């Protein structure tokens, strides 16, 4: 019997495939006593498991080296060293010999003991090693139990099913084998969802209860258009979905026919549609659909899965490649926005009660000037090769902005003195993603070249709703009148000072909000690549004059639900062009 689960589609598409179930928790094993005569046999199993785990780690190390480069493979080298560590192996052997327990239980118990000892040491380095020792323990247990469900070991096309993944875990996946994601938790604007979108694989989040109901290797239909997952589907349903997939692909092909047309309303109002990217490899997708530029390059993803921050040379090479490939189209490079749900172990960010209200974005880089200057030098040097812009995240005060601008000037003058070319007129803008900056947007507008509204954070901070918390996801609404007023006022402040205003949060790709953004006279919407053509189609189907009326009406409504109902009704009345 097929079983159906519902969830929130965050990256559209329909696929049928086998599930690769990924557990982050410790692997469960049975514990039982062994006879004295069995001790050597158990230890022999350990040495075989070490061999297998070594082969496995070497293979993922090679994959990571091909995909990410020499720096990023250090984590696997560290795991290989730990695998043969005398302390770990001594502890396991002691458990087998003295406690007389089976090898699987001895490995699990030893890992637990070592983790407990590490967690009692008040030092970031040792805290970080806890995760490593668990990973190594899991590799050994996987080898002992024949369970090889690591994320890095995908060897056939699968749909990854997990509670959630961290942004850095996603960056290590082998895209060639990735057909889709199903998460039982997660937020629509979490960085995991954002990355899944940039990989352009169908993704459903918040599919409650699915983890318990699906076994590793079972077949599912992942319908990330409707937000439905069919588990163990019958043949008839698979056949029906074959047609649906074909239909969906035809629609995508039709969308491609408008890629060289402008995003302009029926009555001549045009808006730029740019892409949000997280890596240079996303560029091909942007060029394939003829995006108007890069409205947001989230540079933090260049910093994941490494032992230390990337060198200026490496950053420069990435920025230069993007500048050249996109030229003359603009590319907005956002300086490092780490903190919140994006951790970098080597930065040793102290544990915080409220990471999203803590040491994040520009707050962090203004204290770690080395990080900021390295990035700025790389961006400025690359600006010589194309049309780059600099954008600062999480700005909450004019002081922060001015301090950051001073650092840009310092870096520029050092480059000048060294005779290194850069674009002297490079534009500097800020993300508007905190209420204080949105409310005082008129003050900021006088001091920057552009605004980009980060609705993902603006909503969470304005409504005090954690963007990653599925428990309160129903309260996280871009349709809330307070959010819409903030956005409208920011756009107005930008228009008054004649600086362009873009929207680069996920709301920028929401077809329901599109008429409102057009009516507000937003200059640019920057979004995941997969949404650009669909948004273009919607723009071409709208009339600016109608949008003005919709906005007037919406501004009189009192609740997010009323806004949503009204915008849904408007959208239904639209006649699709394709
Ligand atoms: C935002 O907050 O809307 C944004 C675009 O930045 P991020 O999602 O990376 O926090
Ligand atoms: Mg943000």
CATH number at residue 64: 1.10.274.10
Is the beta carbon of 437 within 6 A of some atom in ligand 1? no
Q: What is the pLDDT of residue 153?
A: 64
User: Which of these ranges, 99-113, 119-133, 179-193, 535-549, has the smallest mean pLDDT?
Assistant: 119-133
Pocket mutation for ligand 1, best pick of 333, 456, 531 (most atoms within 8 Å of C-beta): 456
Q: DSSP label at 544? A: H
Model confidence at 468: pLDDT above 90 = no
Strand pairing report for 330-334 and 294-298: parallel
394 Cα–ligand 2 center, Å: 7
The catalytically annotated residue of 20, 79, 504, 547 is 504
Domain that includes residue 58, residue range: 36-145
In degrees rounded to 5, what are phi and psi of residue 67?
Answer: -85, -35
All residues at 6 or more sequence positions from 116 whose CB lies less than 8 Å from its CB, including other chains: none
User: Which ligand is closest in space to the CA of residue 300?
Assistant: 1
Closest Cα to atom 8 of ligand 1: 456
What is the spatial distance between Cα 333 and Cα 434, in angstroms, rounded to a whole number? 19
Is the beta carbon of 455 within 6 A of some atom in ligand 1? yes
Model confidence at 464: pLDDT above 70 = yes
CA distances from 312 to 72, 393, 441 (A): 16, 20, 33
CATH number assigned to the domain comprising residue 185 = 3.50.30.10
Q: Which helix (H) or strand (E) holds 94?
A: helix 86-99
CATH number assigned to the domain comprising residue 530 = 3.20.20.60
- Say if 30 falls within a structural domain: no
Give me 363's structure tokens. 């707050």
Q: Look-up: residue for tokens 């000892």? A: 117
Q: 316 with 381: CB under 8 angstroms?
A: yes
How many residues are given for the chain?
578
238 and 263 both lie in a single domain: no
Closest Cα to atom 3 of ligand 1: 454
- Say if 102 falls within a structural domain: yes
Return the bridge partners of 20, or none: 160
376 Cα–ligand 1 center, Å: 20
What is the spatial distance between Cα 428 and Cα 443, in angstroms, rounded to a whole number? 15
417 and 367 both lie in a single domain: yes
CA angle, residues 205, 206, 212, in degrees to nearest 5: 110
Q: Which helix (H) or strand (E) holds 1?
A: none
Q: Predicted confidence band at 461 (pLDDT cuts at 50, 70, 90)?
A: very high
Q: What is the pLDDT of residue 58?
A: 79
All residues at 6 or more sequence positions from 248 whose CB lies less than 8 Å from its CB, including other chains: 13, 14, 225
Closest Cα to atom 1 of ligand 1: 454
- Say if 576 falls within a structural domain: no
Q: DSSP label at 270? A: B
Model confidence at 25: pLDDT above 70 = no
Is the beta carbon of 298 within 6 A of some atom in ligand 1? yes
234 and 365 both lie in a single domain: no
Distance from chain centroid for Cα 79: 25
- Mean pLDDT calculated for residue range 128-157: 75
Q: Predicted confidence band at 187 (pLDDT cuts at 50, 70, 90)?
A: confident
Pocket mutation for ligand 1, best pick of 302, 337, 343, 508 (most atoms within 8 Å of C-beta): 337
Pocket mutation for ligand 1, best pick of 336, 340, 393, 433 (most atoms within 8 Å of C-beta): 433
159 and 112 both lie in a single domain: no
Q: Look-up: residue for tokens 């919407």? A: 525
Q: Predicted confidence band at 73 (pLDDT cuts at 50, 70, 90)?
A: low
CA distances from 104 to 98, 101, 133, 395, 396 (A): 15, 8, 15, 50, 52
100 and 132 both lie in a single domain: yes
Strand pairing report for 272-277 and 178-183: unpaired
Q: Which parts of 424-536 are beta strand (E)?
A: 427-432, 450-453, 501-503, 524-527
- Say if 221 falls within a structural domain: yes
Question: Which has more confidence, 165 or 318?
Answer: 318
What is the spatial distance between Cα 113 and Cα 570, in angstroms, rounded to a whole number? 60
Which letter, b or e, does each residue of 213-229 get, where b requires 16 or more Cβ atoms within 10 Å of its Cβ?
A: ebeeeebbbbbbeebbb
- Say if 31 falls within a structural domain: no
Q: Which of 190, 219, 249 marks a domain boundary? A: 249
Model confidence at 173: pLDDT above 90 = no
CA distances from 272 to 261, 275, 574 (A): 12, 10, 21
- Say if 563 falls within a structural domain: yes
Q: What is the pLDDT of residue 335?
A: 98
What is the spatial distance between Cα 103 and Cα 366, in angstroms, rounded to a whole number? 50
> In this predicted model, what pLDDT tens digit does every residue of 413-430 receive, in sequence order?
999 999 999 999 999 999
Among 11, 4, 485, residue whose Cα is nearest residue 285 = 11
Burial (0-12, 13-18, 19+ Cβ within 10 Å), 444: buried
385 Cα–ligand 1 center, Å: 27
462 Cα–ligand 1 center, Å: 14
SS3 breakdown of the chain: % helix, strand, coil, rounded to 5? Answer: 55, 15, 30
Pocket mutation for ligand 1, best pick of 198, 454, 460, 522 (most atoms within 8 Å of C-beta): 454
The angle, 0 to 180 degrees and rounded to 10, between the axes of the packed helices 74-83 and 39-68 is 170
- Mean pLDDT calculated for residue range 97-124: 88
- Using a pLDDT cut of 90, give the percent of the chain over it: 68
366 Cα–ligand 2 center, Å: 17
Strand pairing report for 8-11 and 203-205: antiparallel
370 and 466 both lie in a single domain: yes
> In this predicted model, what pLDDT tens digit does every residue of 113-130 receive, in sequence order?
888 888 888 776 676 677
Is the beta carbon of 337 within 6 A of some atom in ligand 1? yes
Q: What is the pLDDT of residue 575?
A: 52
Domains held by the chain: number: 3
- Using a pLDDT cut of 70, give the percent of the chain over it: 92
277 and 422 both lie in a single domain: yes
Mean pLDDT, the chain, rounded, equals: 90
> In this predicted model, what pLDDT tens digit does every residue of 223-251 receive, in sequence order?
999 999 999 999 999 999 999 999 999 99
Is the beta carbon of 295 within 6 A of some atom in ligand 1? no
The catalytically annotated residue of 191, 230, 387, 480 is 191
307 Cα–ligand 1 center, Å: 25
373 and 497 both lie in a single domain: yes
377 Cα–ligand 2 center, Å: 23
169 Cα–ligand 2 center, Å: 20
271 and 364 both lie in a single domain: yes
- Say if 577 falls within a structural domain: no
Give me 463's structure tokens. 């409504």
Q: What is the pLDDT of residue 67?
A: 55
Is the beta carbon of 456 within 6 A of some atom in ligand 1? yes
What is the spatial distance between Cα 185 and Cα 205, in angstroms, rounded to a whole number? 6
Q: Which helix (H) or strand (E) holds 332?
A: strand 330-334
Q: Which of 145, 171, 202 marks a domain boundary? A: 145
Model confidence at 366: pLDDT above 80 = yes
- Say if 254 falls within a structural domain: no
408 and 534 both lie in a single domain: yes
Q: What is the pLDDT of residue 64?
A: 61
- Mean pLDDT calculated for residue range 61-78: 65
Is the beta carbon of 433 within 6 A of some atom in ligand 1? yes
Q: Work out the end-to-end distance of the chain between its first and last CA atoms, rounded to an integer number of angstroms.
A: 37
Give me 267's structure tokens. 């009555």
Model confidence at 182: pLDDT above 70 = yes
Is the beta carbon of 504 within 6 A of some atom in ligand 1? yes
Q: What is the pLDDT of residue 489?
A: 98
Model confidence at 1: pLDDT above 70 = no
482 and 337 both lie in a single domain: yes
> In this predicted model, what pLDDT tens digit does every residue of 511-566 receive, in sequence order?
999 999 999 999 999 999 999 999 999 999 999 999 999 999 999 999 999 999 99
Q: Predicted confidence band at 577 (pLDDT cuts at 50, 70, 90)?
A: very low
- Mean pLDDT calculated for residue range 355-368: 94
Q: What is the pLDDT of residue 340?
A: 85
Q: Predicted confidence band at 164 (pLDDT cuts at 50, 70, 90)?
A: confident
**Ligand 1 atom at minimal distance to the Cα of residue 452:** 5
Is the beta carbon of 135 within 6 A of some atom in ligand 1? no
- Residue 91: which region, alpha, beta or left (left: phi > 0; alpha: psi -120 to 50)? alpha
Q: What is the pLDDT of residue 308?
A: 82
Annotated catalytic, 191? yes
What is the spatial distance between Cα 24 and Cα 168, in angstroms, rounded to a whole number? 14
Q: Which of 109, 130, 145 marks a domain boundary? A: 145
411 and 332 both lie in a single domain: yes
């Amino acid at each position: 019997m097929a079983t159906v689960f519902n969830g929130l589609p965050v990256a559209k598409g329909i696929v049928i495939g086998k599930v690769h179930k990924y557990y982050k928790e410790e692997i469960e094993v049975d514990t039982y006593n062994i006879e004295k005569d069995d001790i050597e046999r158990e230890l022999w199993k350990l040495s075989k498991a070490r061999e297998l785990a070594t082969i496995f780690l070497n293979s993922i190390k090679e994959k990571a080296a091909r995909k990410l480069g020499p720096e990023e493979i250090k984590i696997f080298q560290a795991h290989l060293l730990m695998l043969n560590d005398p302390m770990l192996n001594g502890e396991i052997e002691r458990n087998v010999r003295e406690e007389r327990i089976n090898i699987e239980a001895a490995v699990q118990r030893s890992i637990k003991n070592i983790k407990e000892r590490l967690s009692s040491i008040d030092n970031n380095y040792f805290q970080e090693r806890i995760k490593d020792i668990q990973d190594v323990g899991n590799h050994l247990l996987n080898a002992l139990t024949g369970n090889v469900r690591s994320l890095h070991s995908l060897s056939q096309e699968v749909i990854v099913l997990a509670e959630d993944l961290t942004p850095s875990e996603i960056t290590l996946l082998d895209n060639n084998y990735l057909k889709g994601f199903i998460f039982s938790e997660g937020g629509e604007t979490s960085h995991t969802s954002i990355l899944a979108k940039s990989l352009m694989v169908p993704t459903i989040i918040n599919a409650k209860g699915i983890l318990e109901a699906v076994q590793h290797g079972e077949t599912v239909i992942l319908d990330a258009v409707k937000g439905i997952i069919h588990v163990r589907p019958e043949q008839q349903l698979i056949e029906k979905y074959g047609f649906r997939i074909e239909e969906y692909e035809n629609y995508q092909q039709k969308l491609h026919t408008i890629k060289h047309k402008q995003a302009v309303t029926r009555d001549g109002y045009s808006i730029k549609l740019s892409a949000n990217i997280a890596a240079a490899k996303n560029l091909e997708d942007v060029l394939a659909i003829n995006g108007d530029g890069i409205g947001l390059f989230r540079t933090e993803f260049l910093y994941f899965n490494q032992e230390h921050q990337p060198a200026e040379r490496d950053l420069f090479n990435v920025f230069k490649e993007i500048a050249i490939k996109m030229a003359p189209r603009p590319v907005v490079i956002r300086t490092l926005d780490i903190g919140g749900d994006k951790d970098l172990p080597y930065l040793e960010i102290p544990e915080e009660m409220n990471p999203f209200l803590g040491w994040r974005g520009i707050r962090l880089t203004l204290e770690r000037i080395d990080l900021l200057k390295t990035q700025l030098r790389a961006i400025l040097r690359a600006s010589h090769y194309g049309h780059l812009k600099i954008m600062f995240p999480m700005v909450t005060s004019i002081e922060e902005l001015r301090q950051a601008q001073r650092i840009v000037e310092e870096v520029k003058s050092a480059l000048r003195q060294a005779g290194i070319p850069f674009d002297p007129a490079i534009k500097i803008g800020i993300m508007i993603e905190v209420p204080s900056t949105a409310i005082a947007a008129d003050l900021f507008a006088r001091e920057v070249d552009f605004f980009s509204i980060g609705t993902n954070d603006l909503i969470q901070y304005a409504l005090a709703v954690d963007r990653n918390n599925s428990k309160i996801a129903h309260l996280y609404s871009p349709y809330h009148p307070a959010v819409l007023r903030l956005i409208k006022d920011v756009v107005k402040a930008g228009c008054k000072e004649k600086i362009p205003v873009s929207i680069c949060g996920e709301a920028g790709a929401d077809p329901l909000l599109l008429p409102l953004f057009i009516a507000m006279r937003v200059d640019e919407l920057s979004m995941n690549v997969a949404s650009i053509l669909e948004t273009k189609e919607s723009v071409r189907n709208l009339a600016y004059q109608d949008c003005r009326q919709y906005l007037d009406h919406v501004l009189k409504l009192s609740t997010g639900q009323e806004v949503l109902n009204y915008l849904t009704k408007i959208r239904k009345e639209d006649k699709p062009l394709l």
